[in-house]
Chains A and B, each alone.
Chain A
Amino acid sequence: MKEKLVLIGNGMAGIRTLEELLKLAPDLYDITVFGDEPHGNYNRILLSPVLAAEKTIDDIILNDRQWYADNNIMLHTGMRITKINRGQRTITAEDGTETTYDRLIISTGSSPFIIPVPGSELEGVIGFRDIQDVDEMLDAASKYKKAVVIGGGLLGLEAADGLVKQGMDVTVVHLENTLMERQLDSAAGALLKSSLEERGLKFLMEHQTEALLGDKRVEQICFSNGLQIPADLVVMAVGIRPNIELAQSAGIHSERGIVVNDTLQTYDPRIYAVGECAQHRNITYGLVAPLFEQAKVAANQLAQLGISYYKGSITSTKLKVSGIDLFSAGDFQQSDDTEELLYQDPGRGVYKKVVIRNNRIIGSVLYGDTLDGPWYFQLMRDGIDITEMREKLLFGQVSIGDSGHSATDHISAMPDDAEVCGCNGVCKGDIVNAIIDKGLFTLDEVKLHTKAAASCGSCAGVVEQILASTVGSDFTISPAKKPICGCTEYTHDEVRATLVKYELKEIRAVMDFMEWKTPDGCSKCRPALNYYLLCAWPGEYVDDARSRFINERVHANIQKDGTYSVIPQMKGGMTNAAELRAIADIADKYAVPEMKVTGGQRIDLFGLKKEQLPAIWADLNAAGMISGHAYGKSLRTVKSCIGSRWCRFGTQDSVTMAVKLEEMSWGSWTPHKFKMAVSGCPRNCAEATIKDLGVVGIDSGWELHIGGNGGIKVRATDLLCKVQTEAEVLEYAAAFMQLYREEAHYLDRTAPWIERVGLTYIKQCLIEDGDGRKRLAERFLLSQKYAQIDPWRARAEGKEAHEFAPMIEVVD
Chain B
Amino acid sequence: MSDWIEIGHIDDIPRLGSRVVKSKAGDIAIFRTAQDKIHALLDKCPHKGGPLSQGIVHGDQVTCPLHDWKIQLASGEAVAPDEGCARTYRVRVKAGTIFLML
Interface residues of A (CB under 8 A from B): 438, 448-449, 454, 518-523, 526-527, 545-551, 554, 558, 560-562, 802, 806-812
- Given the known interface contacts A448-B81, A549-B65, the answer about A560 and B48 at a Cβ–Cβ threshold of 8 Å is yes
Are the CB atoms of A546 and B22 closer together than 8 Å?
no
A546-B14, A810-B5, A810-B23 given; name 16 further pairs at CB < 8 Å.
A519-B59, A520-B16, A520-B59, A523-B70, A545-B14, A549-B65, A550-B56, A558-B54, A562-B51, A802-B13, A806-B22, A807-B7, A807-B8, A807-B30, A808-B8, A809-B21
Query: A523 contacts B22, CB within 8 Å?
Result: no
State the total of A-B contacts with C-beta under 8 angstroms.
92
Interface residues on chain B, number (Cβ under 8 Å): 37
What's the nearest-Cβ distance from chain A to residue B7, in Å?
5
Report whether B56 and A546 are in contact in the complex, using a CB–CB cutoff of 8 Å.
yes
Which residues of chain A come closer than 8 Å to B16, judged between CB atoms? 520, 546
Q: Are B66 and A809 in contact (CB-based, < 8 A)? A: no
List chain A residues, Cβ under 8 A from B5: 810
- Which B residues are CB-close (under 8 A) to A454? 68
Given the contacts A449-B81, A546-B16, A523 and B68 also touching, CB distance less than 8 Å:
yes
Expressed in whole angstroms, the minimum distance between the Cβ of A463 and any Cβ of chain B is: 15
Question: Of A518, A523, A548, which is within 8 A of B63 by CB?
Answer: A523
- In the complex, whether B84 has a CB less than 8 A from a CB of chain A is no
Contact partner, A546, options B17, B19, B70, Cβ 8 Å = B17
Q: Choose among A454, A520, A808 the residue with the greatest number of B CB atoms under 10 Å from its CB.
A: A808
- Known A-B contacts A560-B66, A807-B7; the reply to A526 vs B58 at CB < 8 A is yes
B57 contacts the other chain (CB 8 A): yes
B1-44 residues at the A interface, CB under 8 angstroms: 5, 7-8, 12-17, 19-24, 27, 30, 34
CB of B48 within 8 A of CB of A550, answer no
Chain A residues, CB < 8 A from B20: 806-807
Please measure, in the bound complex, the distance between the C-alpha atom of A562 and the C-alpha atom of B50, giving whole angstroms. 6
- Is B55 engaged at the interface, CB distance under 8 Å to the other chain? yes
- A562 contacts B81, C-beta separation under 8 Å: no
Q: Chain B residues near A810: list those with CB within 8 A.
A: 5, 7, 21-24, 100, 102
- Of chain A, the residue at the smallest CB distance from B12 is A807
Verify A521–B24 contact, CB threshold 8 A. no
Closest to B62 in A: A523
Contact (Cβ within 8 A) A546 B15? yes
How far, in whole Å, are A428 and B73 apart by their CA atoms in the complex?
34
- 30 A–B contact pairs at CB < 8 A? A448-B81, A454-B68, A519-B34, A519-B59, A520-B58, A521-B58, A522-B58, A522-B59, A522-B61, A523-B55, A523-B63, A546-B17, A547-B56, A548-B56, A549-B56, A550-B56, A550-B65, A554-B54, A558-B54, A560-B66, A561-B49, A562-B49, A802-B13, A806-B22, A806-B27, A807-B7, A809-B22, A809-B23, A810-B102, A811-B24
Contact A522 B51 (CB under 8 A): no
Q: Which of A527, A558, A562, A807 contacts B13 (CB 8 A)?
A: A807
List of B residues within 8 angstroms of A546 by Cβ:
14-17, 56-57
List, in ascending order, chain A residues with CB within 8 A of B59's CB: 518-520, 522
Partner of B55, one of A518, A550, A554, A808: A550
Whole-angstrom distance between the alpha carbons of A448 and B78 in the complex?
A: 13
User: For residue A445, which residue of chain B has the nearest CB?
Assistant: B81
Q: Chain A residues near B24 (CB, 8 Å)?
A: 810-812
A150 to chain B, nearest CB (A): 49
Look across to chain B and name the residue whose beta carbon is closest to the beta carbon of A810: B23
Is there contact, CB below 8 Å, between A562 and B21? no
A255 vs B22: C-alpha distance in the bound complex, in angstroms?
73
A807 to B11, CA, bound (A): 11
Per the bound structure, the CA–CA distance linking A2 and B27 in Å amounts to: 54
Decide yes or no: A523 and B58 within 8 Å by CB, A558-B65, A807-B30 being known contacts: yes
Cβ of B100: which chain A residues have Cβ within 8 Å of it? 810
Among B27, B56, B100, the one with the most A-chain Cβ atoms within 10 Å of its Cβ is: B56
The residue among A518, A550, A560 with the most chain B CB atoms within 10 A of its own CB is A550
Tell me the complex Cα distance, A72–B56, Å. 38
Nearest chain-A residue to B98 (Cβ)? A807
Hey, which chain B residues are within 8 Å of A547, CB to CB?
A: 56
The residue in A449, A554, A807, A812 that gathers the most chain B C-beta atoms within 10 A of its C-beta is A807
A808 touches B63 (CB 8 A): no
Query: Is the beta-carbon distance between A562 and B54 smaller than 8 angstroms?
Result: yes
B contact residues around A811 at 8 Å (CB): 24
| Contact A802 B51, beta carbon cutoff 8 Å | no
Chain A residues within an 8 Å CB radius of B15: 546
Report Cα–Cα, A522/B55, bound state, in Å. Answer: 11
Do A520 and B34 touch (CB < 8 A)? yes
Q: Tell me how far the C-beta of A437 lies from the nearest C-beta in chain B, rounded to whole angstroms.
A: 11
A806 contacts B63, C-beta separation under 8 Å:
no
* Minimum-distance CB pairs A-B, first 4: A523-B63, A807-B19, A523-B56, A562-B51
Q: A520-B34, A558-B54 are in contact. Are A802 and B19 (CB under 8 A)?
A: yes
Task: Assess whether B7 is in contact with A802, with CB atoms less than 8 Å apart.
Answer: no
Q: Which residues of A contact B81 (CB under 8 A)?
A: 438, 448-449
How far, in angstroms, from A519 to B5 measured CA to CA in the complex? 31
Q: Is the CB of A526 within 8 A of B56?
A: yes
What's the Cα separation between A784 and B76 when bound, in Å?
42
User: How far, in whole Å, are A521 and B61 apart by their CA atoms in the complex?
Assistant: 11
